[in-house]
Amino acid sequence: MANSNDNNNEVVAEMDGFYRIYKDGRVERYIYKKSNLSTYVPPSLDDPQNNVSSKDVIISPHVSARLYLPKNTTNSTQKLPIIVYYHGGALALGSAFFKSYHNYLNVLVSESNAIAISVEYRLAPEHDVTTIYEDSWTALQWVASHANEKKFTSDNEDQWIKNYGDFNRLSIIGDSAGGNIVYHMTMRAGKEGGINEKVTINGSILVCPYFVIPIENIEESASYKNWIIISSPSEAGLHSPLINPLAENAPNLSQLGCSRMLLCFTEKDEFISKEIGIRFVKGVKKSGWKGDLELIEVEGEGHCFQLANPESEKSQELIKRFAAFIQL
């Protein structure tokens, strides 16, 4: 006769190679065991290779972040572009504190000479996907709150952002699931007239964004199967505007709240087909959105390749494109 422990150990859902969900609600993310890039690393006040400092901050009871500052900053009159970065991981995996993201942000910050806030948000399936968007918006509003002219009145304010941030050059960036988040943050900012009364999004960069749009064989893809597992019953499927920005009930893309957008897709992406990227770009253009839109396709590379080795030639080329976008 099966005991309660046997029942608790019953697997009710699984994404092969990534995670499994047990009957008692536990989630085992075994992809973390396969790569040292998926290990947690501490911040560093002195990264000698890229000359970047980093530290961790608590934004709210559920949201934290790792901040990055170029070490060549000499005084508080020098204002730097601001990057708000959302990590990937299919909305169910990943961390801003992983080695892969720490290494990548060090390189990106050094190349773009910008201050960066890499957001740690709660994950599905323990939390509803909409909770992820709320965490992400909380972080974005926290960053924007530093644009207020008042002096420090709260322990929750950060001197790096307050002293060095140029709020006329705020960009939000995300890869994979992070790209999905960037889309939703940009859309919400458009609907609400900005992040707050003082700050708008200058540019959005979506790298291999986690969208599931109806194309041939999409229901056989890992991206679709993952969405079915982590989404609520009412949002499961291709009709949900959370995962399909072209869905019939999705907000009109003309409302996107940024003046510039850069989309990056890769030729050999095993999770997000470049056809989805092309469909999204066509949808944005058809909507009448008034901003500047640029599409990059990286030949011969797979999903979010730049994270595995940000020092490679193609990664460096891509980061330079991002840096030029950020610095405008």
More confident position, 253 or 78: 253
Q: What is the mean pLDDT of residues 15-43?
A: 87
Going by DSSP bridges, is the β-strand pair 19-22/27-28 parallel, antiparallel, or unpaired?
antiparallel
SS3 296: strand
Which of 54, 176, 204, 273 is flagged as catalytic?
A: 176
pLDDT bracket for residue 71 (50, 70, 90): confident
SS3 169: strand
Instruction: Enumerate the domain spans of the chain.
Output: 7-34, 37-327
Is the Cβ–Cβ distance between 298 and 264 less than 8 Å?
yes
Which of 135, 269, 273, 315 is flagged as catalytic?
A: 269
- In tens, the pLDDT along 89-121 reads 999 999 999 999 999 999 999 999 999 999 999
In CATH, the architecture of 37-327 is 3-Layer(aba) Sandwich (3.40)
Q: Compute CA distances 143 → 102, 309, 319, whole Å.
A: 19, 28, 23
What span, in angstroms and rounded, lies between the C-alpha atoms of 90 and 124? Answer: 9
pLDDT bracket for residue 1 (50, 70, 90): very low
What span, in angstroms and rounded, lies between the C-alpha atoms of 45 and 23? Answer: 43
Query: What is residue 76's predicted lDDT score, i.e. its pLDDT?
Result: 61
- In tens, the pLDDT along 116-150 reads 999 999 999 999 999 999 999 999 999 999 998 76
Which of 135, 171, 303, 315 is flagged as catalytic?
A: 303
Query: What is residue 90's predicted lDDT score, i.e. its pLDDT?
Result: 96
Query: The tokens of 184 are what?
Result: 């939703």
- 38 flagged as catalytic: no
- 184 flagged as catalytic: no
- In tens, the pLDDT along 260-281 reads 999 999 999 999 999 999 999 9
- 303 flagged as catalytic: yes
- In tens, the pLDDT along 181-230 reads 999 999 999 999 999 888 999 999 999 999 999 999 999 999 999 999 99
Mean pLDDT over each residue of the chain, to the nearest integer: 92
